[in-house]
C-alpha cells in the first residue's frame, strides 16, 4: 500500500467551501467513495452502508468545483504482493516451486493441480547459465509435461539494452503468452533479471514474471526488489520501471558453479547492508569471508565442517532481511533518502566508464571504500573502524581503489545526483560499524582531503596521476 502521505493534502473528507478572494475563486470540494453495485462502479458522497453494496474500493475521487470548471483528483492506493522464497533443489522434477510456487490462493492452486490443461512457461536464461543448467532445466520441464520455450541470451552489461528487451518481447509475443496465468521466468544474474523484468512490465502493460537468481549478487540484491531496467544513453539503468516479480525463488546451489570473482562481487552488496544496518553481519563477513569464498556458500565442503552452511545461511538471510526492510516501505523510491544507495553515488559512472573491466559489485565496493574515507574525514568513523572495514573488503577479495575514480568523476556524479534527488546529495555514510545516516552538506574540502588520503593509502602506485596534490 502506498504511504498515506501521498494523498493530496488539499482534499478534505467533507463538503465545504473555501473563499479565495473574489467570488469567482469560490471552491467546493467533495470526497467521493467508489462502490460496486451489481457489477457497476459508482461514486458516492458521505457515509456508505456496506450492506447495500458489493464492494467498497480503497480508491477515492476528490471533486473540486469552481465557477471556472471542475477538476478531479484520483487517489488510488496500489498494493503489490510478491514472495521471496529460499528453496533447495529448484530444478528437481519433484519440486513444483518453479511452476506453482508463486500462487498464493489455495483454491487456484488446487484447480491447477486437478486440471488436465498443460502448464505453459516462457523462460529467458542467461547463455552461460544455460550452458551449465540447460539440460537439467529441459528435463525438469519435460518431466512435468510443460509446454515451454527457452530463450538463451548473452545478458551482460554491454547488451543490457532496449534492443535486448524488444528481442525478448518478440519471442514472448510469438509464444502467445497468457499474461494473467503464465508468468515469464528469468534465470540468471542481475542483468538478466533486470532486462526480463522490464520486458514483462511492458508486455500488455504488465505481465507477471518470476526471478531465479544464479549469482550471489542477484541472490541478495536484484531478486528481492522491484526495480527493472536497461542502460540508455551511456547511463546505467536510465530506462526502467518499478514492477516487482510475483515471486523470487532462491536456491544457493546455483552459486557453486559461479567463479570466485563473481562470488566476491556479490559479497560487496552484502557488505553494503552490513555497513549500513547490521554490525553482526559485518563481523560475520570479517571473520568468515574467506570461508564463504572458498566454499561458495555450499554445505558440501568438508574442510570447514558444519560451520560453512550455517554461516552461509545466516549471512544470506540477514542480507536479504535488511534489504527487504529498506525496500518494502519504499518500492517506488518516493523517499529519496535511501541507505541502500551507499556505494551507488559514484559507482554507476565508474562502471560505465571502464566497462567491462569492473563488475557491478566491484565498482560499488570502490565507491564504498572511498566513502569510508569520507566518513573518517568527517569524524564519523574512527581510524580503527576505517581500517577494519578496508581490511574486510580486502579479505573479501574486492578492489578498494581505481585510477579512474577521480575528483572530476566524483564532482560530476554528485552534480548529477543533485538534479535527480530533489536538489540534495542524500549521501549515505557509515557512522559506526553497522550504523549509518544520510548527509547533505559534506563539503568539497572534506571530499578532496578524503580522496587524497584514499589515494595515498590504497592506490597501487604512489605517484598516480589522478590524486590531486
Phi and psi (nearest 5°) for 337? Answer: -85, 95
Which residue carries 574467506 as its cell?
290
What 3-state DSSP class applies to 163?
Answer: helix
Q: Which of 60, 160, 227, 386 is catalytic?
A: 227
Whether residue 391 contacts residue 282, with contact meaning beta carbons closer than 8 Å, is answered with no
| DSSP code at position 149 | E
Q: Give the C-alpha separation, 262 to 255, whole Å.
A: 9
CA angle, residues 288, 294, 300, in degrees to nearest 5: 100
Neighbours of 335 (CB within 10 A): 11
- What nine digits make up the cell of 344? 551507488
| Secondary structure of residue 384 in the 3-state scheme | helix
Q: Is 160 a catalytic residue?
A: no
Q: Of 358, 369, 363, 428, which Cα lies nearest the Cα of 393?
A: 369
8 Å CB contact between 278 and 215? no
* Residues 17, 21, 25: CA angle, nearest 5 degrees: 55
Contact yes or no for 341/426 (Cβ under 8 A): yes
Positions annotated as catalytic residues are 227
Amino acid at each position: 500500500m502506498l504511504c498515506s502521505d501521498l494523498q493530496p493534502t488539499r482534499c478534505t473528507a467533507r463538503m465545504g467551501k473555501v473563499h479565495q478572494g473574489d467570488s469567482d475563486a469560490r471552491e467546493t470540494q467533495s470526497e467521493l467513495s467508489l462502490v460496486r453495485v451489481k457489477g457497476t462502479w459508482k461514486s458516492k458522497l458521505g457515509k456508505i452502508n456496506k450492506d447495500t453494496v458489493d464492494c467498497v474500493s480503497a480508491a477515492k475521487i476528490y471533486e473540486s468545483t469552481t465557477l471556472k470548471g471542475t477538476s478531479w483528483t484520483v487517489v488510488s492506493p496500489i498494493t503489490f504482493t510478491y514472495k521471496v522464497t529460499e528453496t533447495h533443489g529448484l530444478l528437481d522434477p519433484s519440486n513444483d516451486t518453479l511452476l506453482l510456487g508463486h500462487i498464493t490462493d489455495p483454491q487456484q492452486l488446487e484447480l491447477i493441480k486437478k486440471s488436465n490443461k498443460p502448464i505453459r512457461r516462457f523462460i529467458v536464461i542467461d547463455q552461460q547459465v544455460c550452458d551449465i543448467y540447460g539440460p537439467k532445466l529441459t528435463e525438469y520441464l519435460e518431466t512435468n509435461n510443460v509446454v515451454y520455450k527457452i530463450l538463451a541470451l548473452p545478458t551482460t552489461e554491454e547488451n543490457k539494452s532496449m534492443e535486448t528487451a524488444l528481442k525478448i518481447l518478440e519471442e514472448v509475443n510469438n509464444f502467445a503468452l497468457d499474461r494473467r496465468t503464465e508468468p515469464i521466468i528469468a534465470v540468471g544474474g542481475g542483468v538478466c533479471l533486470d532486462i526480463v523484468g522490464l520486458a514483462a512490465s511492458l508486455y500488455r502493460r504488465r505481465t507477471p514474471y518470476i526471478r531465479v537468481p544464479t549469482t550471489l549478487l542477484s541472490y541478495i540484491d536484484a531478486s528481492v526488489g522491484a526495480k527493472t531496467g536497461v542502460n540508455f544513453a551511456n547511463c546505467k539503468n536510465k530506462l526502467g520501471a518499478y514492477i516487482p516479480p510475483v515471486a523470487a525463488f532462491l536456491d544457493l546451489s546455483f552459486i557453486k558453479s559461479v567463479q570466485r570473482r563473481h562470488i566476491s562481487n556479490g559479497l560487496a552488496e552484502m557488505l553494503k547492508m552490513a555497513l549500513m544496518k547490521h554490525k553482526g553481519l559485518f563481523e560475520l563477513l570479517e571473520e568468515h569471508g574467506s570461508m564463504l569464498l572458498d566454499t561458495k556458500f555450499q554445505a558440501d565442503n568438508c574442510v570447514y565442517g558444519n560451520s560453512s552452511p550455517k554461516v552461509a545461511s545466516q549471512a544470506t538471510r540477514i542480507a536479504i532481511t535488511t534489504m527487504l526492510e529498506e525496500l518494502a516501505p519504499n518500492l517506488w523510491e518516493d523517499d529519496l533518502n535511501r541507505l541502500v544507495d551507499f556505494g551507488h553515488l559514484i559507482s554507476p559512472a565508474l562502471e560505465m566508464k571502464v566497462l567491462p573491466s569492473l563488475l557491478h559489485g566491484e565498482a560499488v565496493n570502490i565507491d564504498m571504500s572511498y566513502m569510508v574515507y569520507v566518513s573518517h574525514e568527517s569524524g564519523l568513523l574512527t581510524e580503527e573502524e576505517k581500517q577494519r572495514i578496508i581490511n574486510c573488503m580486502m579479505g573479501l577479495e574486492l578492489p578498494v581503489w581505481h585510477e579512474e575514480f577521480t575528483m572530476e568523476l566524483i564532482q560530476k556524479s554528485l552534480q548529477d545526483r543533485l538534479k535527480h534527488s530533489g536538489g540534495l546529495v542524500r549521501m549515505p555514510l557509515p557512522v559506526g560499524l553497522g550504523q549509518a545516516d544520510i548527509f547533505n552538506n559534506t563539503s568539497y574540502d572534506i571530499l578532496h582531503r578524503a580522496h587524497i588520503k584514499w589515494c595515498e593509502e590504497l592506490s597501487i602506485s604512489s605517484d598516480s596521476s589522478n590524486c590531486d596534490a
